Chains A and B, each alone.
Chain A
């Protein structure tokens, strides 16, 4: 019991490492917000493009979605960070992480948005087109709103799951929470910073998990 206190909840160690971890926290939050903004925008954009059913574009979009859903994010990160420089394309480690996770989130959200678009009742299309709305107007004013409402629960779950993967940034030495915690743990020879990191992650993501529970309940009723 004493050991648990000394190694996992050591107040001295906490005090020493907290400033570092808070720096890491801000960085993690920054990366997460960038990823959510870029990933969801790109995913929605590609889903809309896919709705126009242009054959050659669709092949690329589907290939993009499949590739980035099948390959682990850490593998993609390694490719972006370590393989791209071979052809002269170099990104900073933080940029690499944002690019990687944005692409992964885009691939997943694209599939989810697209599933929502196809799930909208065909009668909605017919009704809107019969009043003279163009394809694009129907998509924009009638279909997208309904589609997005339908997919909010799976979209939230997936967004949280991918955003959690910001922790892989530590593998390319981005000084985010986990990386700071590992460094502190090594320097202070005490794993308390890891506990602290765990607590920070929970503080950051638990509200989102609650939000997803609420949304699941709220939008899942019609089933």
Chain B
């Protein structure tokens, strides 16, 4: 897989870099319920950030605010120098720089694997069919699906479907990739394959924000771990600190329960 690592510069293990994604004090409410109570966060280039926390802590909502699938009520989000939350932001252009991988995969059931990946290449980047297919096939090969170009989602296992989902995000050569609990909908035996793909992406220098329940994965792969609870970032730091020396009561509580599952 690393043989075809052409798209991004960067060396494995590098953790520092220019700030790429900046979230400033975003808030989000549904009616009375405030799900994000002022979240700020900076992600550097080539950094892998894991977001952990109990269900309903607002981590998915925070992630979905980054490409404005959810509209934050206030606060600002920047990708490089572009403000994503600007009123006149060219959303479709910004979104192509932000890849997203969904919990439920959200593959297009009426399109085969190659067309799932090629759709945005053709319609957003205006690539010719041949170019888009070449890119799609290369990307699918990189996630280990060289045999499955013409398979439809229904013919693939959950793990394979999620790898198509990852290929679909990567093919656009995004600056940052968002993962919304990418393994939560998978059978346990399929989880490791998908996590291995994400691990490989880190080696290639991708910038990633991963909302996850896999604590082992967060500890091994992330450069930085965010713990959210009740719509706020309670604690953050390098994995060693978060998992070995949690400072807050809530994180200690969460880890003692969370690691059990």
A–B contact, 8 Å CB criterion (strictly below) = no
